Structure 1
Amino acid sequence: MFKHNYNVIGVMSGTSLDGVDLAHVNFEINNNKWSYQIFECATISYSNEMISKLKNGIHFSKTELSELNIEYTNLLGNIISEFIAKNNLSNLDAVCSHGHTILHQPENGFTLQIGNLPEIAKITNEKVICNFRVQDVLFGGQGAPLVPIGDKILFSEFDYCLNLGGFSNISFEKNNERIAFDISPVNTVLNFYANTFGLEYDNKGKISESGNINAALFDELNTLDFYQKAYPKSLGFEFVKETVLPILESYSISTEDKMRTFTEHIALQIGKILQQKTGRLLITGGGVYNEFLIERIKNYLPTIDVIIPDEETIQFKEALIFALLGVLKLRNEINVLASVTGATHNHSSGEVF
């Protein structure tokens, strides 16, 4: 007999490398309808040394990756344990952790999220549900995006759910099934250039706003093969490092102009997905704080009602949804949608330690 209440922690580390998001969540299910309440939450920043390792992990040897996986699992386990202790949390049903994506190559049948080793359960002394992506890739899917089932279950009052993190991704209903896919890089590129000014990010998009659009660069970015592909499709940091940054770096223009051009590129690509659409668009993720980017997105969406929610939902929506994915796994219910990932069938994914 399944429970009606679940007391869990959701843990997420995104490609923008701003740290580990943790959210203590209570879920309740009544008459097949889920509701949630977010309690304590936190973002724990990485050390500069760890940021460097996570950025460069795609170039590591198998041995180096294995060592990084162990190191990161220990780090993540300790972060979770400290969060539990600091907030005096008890009677948890599970810790539901995404881990950190280092390699994402679904076309090669491969995806790697570190921090998902069995030792994490010993470190936290809790039941841990993790490694949500691997099974989907084995079933022929992209292993991403995974958040859309949470959009469907928890945010059904919105017509579209857009996340602006390391990458932008969107989910919505089409022909009575959930559709979702990655749109373009966002903070993986903008933060890279903000870092060259000694900043973690472009505060409110002020640097980007000060630049000018380079028409040739803008056109070259918009004609990349990825944007012509049909969904399901997903992006990894490899795309940024091997394709996008080399294009940007090939132009002898100011960093401000590169950032301005890329901001317009992000907005245009989002606009193309939602052209001539109406309804309510929920936007979450760190990119929400880039006011200039939001202004440019709105420019391309004149008939859409753009909604930016409360702070907790902006910052911790992905941690919230991975908490839900873990609960669904506990119940052996579908937590990955084939309509979104391209897998052979819907399934209940994740490992339980």
Structure 2
Amino acid sequence: MHEEQKLAARTQQTGADGVYFGLMSGTSMDGVDGVAVQFRAGEAPRVLADAFVGFADGLRDALFALQQPGENEIEREALAASALAARYAVCCHELLRSANLAPASVRAIGVHGQTVRHRPEKGYTRQINNPALLAEMTQIDVVADFRSRDVAAGGQGAPLVPAFHAQVFGAKDETRVVCNLGGISNITVLPPTRVRAASRGDDGGHAAAADSGAIRGFDCGPANVLLDEWAKRHLRAPFDERGRFAASGTVNQTLLNALLAEPFFEQAPPKSTGRDLFNSEWLDAKLAGFEAVAPADVQATLAALTAVSVAREIERHAPGCRAVYVCGGGARNPELLKALERALDRSGVSGVPVMTTEALGVPAHHVEALAFAWLAMRCVERAAGNLPAVTGAAGERVLGAIYPR
């Protein structure tokens, strides 16, 4: 039985009914997205409410500072984790109000935490949070620290959302790619469900290549993490609104080639990355010698870097894909979506449409928070949440630690 089939089967067996909250604060560190979602076995998840709670500048500064080694890190991390939990609690109370729910009616909160270090090659990943405080402030069970168990089993601990993508976005007769454009870009390759079934022998053993039914997912490179950094420097704004700054510039091909020379882009999956690699220091080092390039042209080139690095991975790992569905903050950047469509047209998968997951009935800003609500449900039901073929873990594992209310 294939991994994603086991995931679906266990969802049916456990009768995983209930309301869960999912909270996601990503690499962009601008705030937390939250959803209240109803899970019923055999049905699509139903979002009851959503909320966004921004981070104050002081909290964002503290989180950014923890990306690098510094003085008194243990205390600074503890204080930031408690401040973060307080913002998570505000989001949860907004979800309770919007969905007209009592805390006792919510089975659990699935909260990702804020990644400050991701070093699976050294055997650890660090998502700061204070889940005990969150449980105390909400009086709801909290499920947190999803990535560590996968890393302990030899995996990357990321990406974890492909298993959820397979549940909600797969199609019977076509290969689809789900592309998350958060701080970092990642893709999930979803082969046709009929091919996945054939490769498992569910249709009487009709032939399919051994890997043809395998779901794949991995990080591709930087997305908003560098675009936001450059916008802060030159626009004094947290991000490039609708990509207008990038649209005013022209891609510098020589600079783009220099950026694409980063070895990460040629690594084979499983692979994951974050601010440990793609940060302001990386960008400044790559820009050495390109001081004459206008700021708007740099922004246009950074958008092209995201688009080309994603398009190359789609060409390598999903050459037969019929559509690309985008989620994450980058889905609100029309210039970035156009750049991705152009990059695909110039690759070996030309003519592939790019649209947001809204086309599949799920708003782009809901997807990751929904995924962590789903992962919380899997943990509560003691069901596996990872796909070893995606993360490289030794096998399926129940992900997360539970903090009772």
TM-score bin, normalised by smaller chain? over 0.9
How many residue pairs get aligned? The number is 350
Q: Which residue of 1 aligns with 2:377?
A: 327
Structure 1 position 24 matched with structure 2 position 36? yes
2:343 aligned residue (300, 323, 333):
300
Secondary structure (helix, strand or coil) at the match of 1:326 reads helix
Gaps of at least 5 residues in structure 1 are none
Matched, 1:72 2:84: yes
Give the structure with the larger strand fraction. Answer: 1
Specify the alignment match of 2:169 in structure 1: 155
> Which deviates more from structure 2 when the two are superposed, residues 139-148 or residues 209-218?
209-218
**8 A contact 1:278–1:305 mirrored in 2:** no
Matching of residue 285 in structure 1 with residue 323 in structure 2:
no
Aligned to 1:104: 118
Which of 296, 301, 314 is the aligned partner of 1:261? Answer: 301
Q: Relative to 1, partners in 2 of residues 1:235 and 1:4: Cα closer, same or farther, differing over 3 Å?
A: closer
Matching of residues 18-97 of structure 1 within 5 Å: 18-30=30-42, 34-59=43-68, 60=70, 61-85=73-97, 87-90=99-102, 91-97=105-111
**Cα deviations across residues 11-70 of structure 1 (Å, max 9, x unaligned)?**
10011122100101111113xxx4111121011111111111111112342332233223
The whole-number CA distance in structure 1 between the counterparts of 2:281 and 2:162 is 26
Q: Deviations over 1:58-106 (max 9, x none)?
A: 2342332233223322332343234324543121111111111111111
Unaligned stretches of 5+ residues in structure 2? 1-12, 191-210, 345-349
2:115 matches 1:118: no
Q: TM-score w.r.t. structure 1 length?
A: 0.93
- State the distance in 2 between where 1:40 and 1:278 align: 32
Per-residue deviation, residues 152-200 of structure 1 (Å, max 9, x unmatched): 1111126111111111100114532221100011111111111121222
The separation in 2 between residues aligned to 1:332 and 1:116, in whole angstroms, is 22
Work out which of the residue numbers 204, 221, 231 in structure 2 matches 1:184: 221
CA distance in 2, matches of 1:150, 1:324: 7
For the residues of structure 1 that align with 2:54 and 2:83, how far apart are their CA atoms?
16
Instruction: Say if 2:260 is the partner of 1:219.
Output: no
Tell me the distance in 2 between the aligned counterparts of 1:106 and 1:12.
20
> Residue 162 of structure 1 aligns to which amino acid in structure 2?
C
- 2: distance between equivalents of 1:338 and 1:321? 17
Query: Please, which moves more after superposition, 158-167 or 273-282?
Result: 273-282
**TM-score when normalising by structure 2:** 0.82
Task: Tell me if 1:132 matches 2:132.
Answer: no
| Residue identity in the other structure for 2:341 | K
8 Å CA contact retained: 1:221, 1:244: no
Decide whether the 8 Å contact of 2:89 with 2:138 is kept in 1: yes
Q: Write the distance in 2 (CA, Å) between the matches of 1:238 and 1:144.
A: 14
Partner of 2:394: 344
Structure 2: how far apart are the matches of 1:4 and 1:235?
Answer: 32
Q: Taking structure 1 as reference, are residues 300 and 214 closer, same or farther at Cα in structure 2, changes over 3 Å only?
A: closer
The match for 1:141 among 141, 155, 160 is 155
Identity %: 27
TM-fit CA distance, 1:316:
1.2
User: In 2, Cα distance between the equivalents of 1:188 and 1:254?
Assistant: 20
Q: Which amino acid aligns with 1:147?
A: V
Offset of 1:142 from its aligned partner? 0.8
AA aligned to 2:91 is: I
- Counterpart in 1 of 2:10? none
- 1:309, 1:146 → 2: CA distance? 18
From the superposition, tell whether residues 4 and 333 of structure 1 become closer, same or farther in structure 2 (CA, over 3 Å): closer
SS at match of 1:80: helix
Q: Which moved more, 1:226-235 or 1:2-11?
A: 2-11
SS in 2 for 1:58: coil
SS of equivalent to 1:239 = coil
State the shift of 1:204 in Å.
1.8
RMSD value, Cα:
1.9
Q: Which moved more, 1:341-350 or 1:212-221?
A: 212-221
Cα displacement string for residues 244-287 of structure 1 (whole angstroms, at most 9, x for unaligned residues): 32234423022211111111111111111222433122111111
Question: C-alpha displacement at 1:116, in angstroms?
Answer: 4.2
